[in-house]
Amino acid sequence: MNDGTHRVGRLPVQGVGTELLAEIESLQLNARHAAQGAMAGMHRSLRRGASIEFSEHKVYTPGDDIRHIDWRAYAKTDRYHVKQFEDETNLLVELIVDHSGSMAFATPGLPSKLEVARTLAAAIAYLALRQGDAVGLLTFAGDVTEELPARATSTHLMEVLTRLVRLEPQGPTAVCQSIDQFAQRARRRAVTVILTDLFDPDPDLLGAFRRLAARRHDVAVLHLLDPAERDFPYDNPSLFASMEDDRRLFVHPRTLRSAYVAEMQKFLADTTRRMSEARIDYHLVDTKVDAANILGAFLRGRERRV
């Protein structure tokens, strides 16, 4: 902006017809590019820890795999029982996307956090649906704004893409409240991928992720930040405008940079530690990195999870 204010405007309102179709086609191409660049291990990665579940016991018979003998059951009954398992061939993947005002932020020349979130969510949906898995979508800002039930049909990708393309950054964020609402409504265990910048002042923010994980969801958080939000690279006195409310502040960046960077580093270190303690699959996403590389790192990280 020529007035010196550091701010990113709203994304253009999506229309209907050819304009909307062009946006969907562009997102689909970006999603395919990211997916194809990170294909290896995708399905196995998403299923880590979620694909096989205990079903029931049966009395041991010769030929059964002795590795599945339940020794606790033997101690109680004095009979050998074998655990049987059910392979969840239809995995459920739930995508939760933040489109609050702060997600519009972008360093000039880079995509906004919301644009990156769109591409990553679309790529994950594309890959999961290719494998026959069901994909659902929930979007939120100050509250849950839309919820698309999970399906595994061939036409469902277009439904997901259409809703992602229509997302506009708006108002304040309520990550904690929205995650709790999702957890209360979710009836089936899912791989739940949350794409957000975590700019929520609620002191119980990480508690919401822990509560979701406690309901047996396999929770992954893709924490999106623009490089400028981490490094605060500004030099000249400037007017900084909030993207989620009407607050404005005129500051001299050089006097604040050291304190800002130190506080951001502390926030990221605390978040990483607490997510790890809760066994949440946390990934810090730099929006200057290509989406294919982001997705590849995410999937490789899931491969390493125990």
Assess whether 16 and 164 both reside in one domain.
yes
Q: In what order do the strands lie in the sheet with 134-140?
A: 144-151, 134-140, 92-98, 191-196, 218-225, 281-286
Q: For 112-133, write each residue's pLDDT tens digit.
A: 999 999 999 999 999 889 888 8
194: domain CATH number? 3.40.50.410
DSSP 69: B
The rounded distance, in Å, linking the Cα atoms of 217 and 90 is 15
Strand pairing category for 144-151 and 134-140:
antiparallel
Assess whether 186 and 247 both reside in one domain.
yes
Domain count, the chain: 2
Which pLDDT does position 86 carry in this prediction? 44
Assess whether 83 and 32 both reside in one domain.
no
Assess whether 64 and 210 both reside in one domain.
no
Assess whether 174 and 216 both reside in one domain.
yes
Q: Which residues of the chain have pLDDT under 70?
A: 1-17, 37-57, 60, 63-66, 84-90, 241-245, 303-306
Q: Which residues, listed in sequence order, are joined to residue 196 by a DSSP beta bridge?
A: 223
Token pair for 162: 């259409």
3-state helix, strand, coil in the chain (%, to 5): 45, 20, 35
Which pLDDT does position 11 carry in this prediction? 34
Which pLDDT does position 305 carry in this prediction? 62
Boundaries of domain holding 83: 53-87
The rounded distance, in Å, linking the Cα atoms of 217 and 139 is 18
DSSP 143: S
Angle (deg, nearest 10), helices 113-130 and 18-36: 70
Other C-beta atoms lying within 10 Å of the C-beta of residue 143 = 12
The structure's pTM equals: 0.77
Which pLDDT does position 227 carry in this prediction? 97
Three-state secondary structure call for residue 91: coil
Token pair for 217: 């969801």
